[in-house]
Every structure is written in structure tokens, then in C-alpha cells.
Amino acid sequence: MAIQETKNIQEVCFWADCQDCGKRLDVYLAQKIETMTRSAIQKSISGGQVLVNGRVASKNTRMSANDKVTMGNSGIRGGGEHGNAPEPQEIDLDVLYEDDYFVAVNKPAGLVVHPGNGNQDKTLVNALLFRMGALSSGSARERPGIVHRLDKDTSGVIIAAKTDQAHSRLAELFSARKITKIYTAFCIGLLPPSGGVIDFALARSRKNPVKRCVNASGKHAVTEYQLLRYHRGVSVIKLNILTGRTHQIRVHCSYSGFPVIGDDLYGADRDGVLKIPPMERPFAHSVLKCFSRQALHALSIGFIHPFSNQPLTIRAPFAGDFLRALELMQVDPAL
């Protein structure tokens, strides 16, 4: 992807390759711009804000190798859901890193990333606007600065963009899978091997629109995992997600037989502990009691800084619930 800037507008450009041949334009862009919904992208296309090889295209346009797709920054801003612009709010933030382009924070569990249905304020975005004063335009009015997201009850490092240029550069790195995202989780059960790769496409569940499920016709999703320690029905694992799908780790772990502890949505609540052998349940319950949310933490994010060209790794310290559970498992928090 390349960025072309003029005085009044910034354009984000993509070039299709052979593996994109035959894809519909809206599908192609949905894979490239994960912060925009498919419907938002379709609105931008219908509004004439997307060009293919310099010509206004339709969502049914089929991609060919070397096609140049251009979306104006107004399309990225205006194509999302129509929400109110968030107001700055004074909320404590644990800032891990900040420069002229980006800010990274250690998001606590329970904090929603941006305003949406049921959460119109008191989000990470509101807090960032209070502290920074301004962020990038984002993919929609209610999502300034947001390039990637964490679930409400997932803690850990999240990075936001301060400028539109920084947003585009960071989005390019995510799209090219040049950003390393490491997570730590406590899971019920023993992983089949001590490490491996989970490669299952994910889609929205037809039975419950809040949930995601494994579906061969869904979006490509890949998770690498490594077992750090297993003890009496509980595993501590480290994960590297090569794609950033909604609920990816939670669904992949559950589907593979080792759901994340405390994840009521995907089968690792207190009843889930009953699936392990009776002799191991007391210890598993003691770990479960450490958490009032899913036991998932975004430990670190690493990439080559697109402006300084220097390697950057940002690590988020564990919250108290994780520290207590790591102590029970006799795992060093400096893992």
C-alpha cells in the first residue's frame, strides 16, 4: 500500500496481486481495512469515493493483478457508521509509549475501545482525546485514532494514531502482517501438542450475532500458540496472532479444546471447569477465582516504526488478576 498526499486530501492506495484476482472490490477492501465494516466500505464505493485504476468502481468490480485501488481520506472518515463525534473525558490512562505519531496504552479490562451501541462515552477514545487533544480521523467519526481493537474485557497494549498519515502507515503494516501481536492466556485443559498453529477461518455466528464461529467461508484467521506451563487442568499459553479477527483467540482456543478461562461466551465459565478430571477441579477453580473476565492479555506489540525505521516493541505489564494467577501457576511474570 502507498500513501499519496495533496494539500487538501490524503489518499490511501492499494495494489492487487495475483491472489486477489477475481475478488469483489468490497471483499478486497474489507480484507485490507479491518477497521471498516463491509457495509461502510460499500457505502464509500457507492458514494464514488473508491477508484480502480483511476475510475469510479462498483462493489461488484472484480479485481485483477496490478489493479490500483484508491480511497480518499474522506471515504475512510465518512464511510463508517454514522455516530456522534466523541467528547474528551478525563479517564486515567496507563501510557506505555508516545511520540509525535502514535500513543500506546495498557488498556484495563472493562474499558471499551470506542463509542458504539450501548457505550456512548467513557471509552478509550474519550480518554485519549482528553489527553492528546486530537487523533487521526479514523475509520468513522466515533473511532478517531483507532487502527486495531481489543475486546472490552481483554487487557493489554493497544496503539492509536495521532495523525492521518500515521494512521495510514500503521494500517499498512497491519495489512501487510508486519506487526507482531503477542498475547498471554489461561486456558482450561491441556493443549494437544506443546505448541502449534490454529488455522481456521472465522465468520459471524448465525445463531448469535455477538459470537464468531469457525466457518470455511469466513475470513482467514491464523493463531500461533506456545504452552508455557500446564498444571492440574490449567494451561498458561503465549499466542501470536497473524491476523486480527474479532474474538480470534477466544474462538480458536475454544474450538481447539482449550477455551480461555472466564470466557462465558465461548464455554470457559465455571461450568466449563466441570469438563476436566475431578481431581484437578479444585486447582482450576482457584485460578478461575482470580478472574472476573476472560483471562486474556495483550502482552506486547512490535513493528518497525514507519517514520524512524527503528524497531519498536511495547510491552504491557500484567494486571493484578493475572499476577495472582501466574503466582498460582508458578510462572514468572517476566515470561
Residues 6 or more apart whose CB falls under 8 angstroms from that of 125 comprise 86, 113, 114, 115, 135, 142, 143, 144, 145, 146
For 24, 151, 171, 250, the CA distances from 244, given in Å and listed in that order, are 21, 12, 12, 12
Q: In the structure, what pLDDT confidence band is assigned to residue 33 with cuts at 50, 70 and 90?
A: confident
What amino acid is encoded at 227 in this protein? L
Which residues belong to the active site? 151
Q: In the structure, what pLDDT confidence band is assigned to residue 150 with cuts at 50, 70 and 90?
A: very high
Q: In the structure, what pLDDT confidence band is assigned to residue 75 with cuts at 50, 70 and 90?
A: very low
Mean pLDDT score of the chain, rounded to an integer?
87
Q: Which residues of 173-205 are buried (b: 16+ CB within 10 A; e: fewer)?
A: bbbeeebebbbbbbbbbbbeeeeeebebbbbee
- For residue 76, the model assigns a pLDDT of 46
Cα 195 to chain centroid, rounded: 22
Angstrom distance (rounded) from CA 8 to CA 258? 51
Angstrom distance (rounded) from CA 46 to CA 64? 20
Angstrom distance (rounded) from CA 139 to CA 145? 8
For the stretch 134-145, pLDDT in tens is 898 876 778 889
- For residue 4, the model assigns a pLDDT of 36
Q: Is the pLDDT of residue 167 over 60?
A: yes
CA atoms within 13 A on the CB side of 49: 24
CA atoms within 13 A on the CB side of 4: 8
Q: Which of 80-84, 262-266, 277-281 has the lowest mean pLDDT?
A: 80-84
- Containing 234, the helix (H) or strand (E) segment is strand 234-241
For 45, 61, 62, 68, 258, the CA distances from 28, given in Å and listed in that order, are 12, 10, 9, 12, 32
Q: Is the pLDDT of residue 7 over 50?
A: no
Compute the average pLDDT of residues 248-257: 95
Give the three cell numbers for residue 324.
495472582
Angstrom distance (rounded) from CA 244 to CA 95? 22
Domains in the chain, CATH or no CATH each: 2-78 (3.10.290.10), 83-176 (3.30.2350.10), 181-298 (3.30.2350.10)
Q: Is the pLDDT of residue 272 over 80?
A: no
For the stretch 187-245, pLDDT in tens is 999 888 889 999 999 998 988 888 999 999 999 999 999 999 999 999 999 999 999 89
- For residue 121, the model assigns a pLDDT of 86
Q: In the structure, what pLDDT confidence band is assigned to residue 77 with cuts at 50, 70 and 90?
A: very low
CA atoms within 13 A on the CB side of 19: 1
Cα 90 to chain centroid, rounded: 24
Angstrom distance (rounded) from CA 214 to CA 251? 7
Q: Is the pLDDT of residue 277 over 90?
A: no
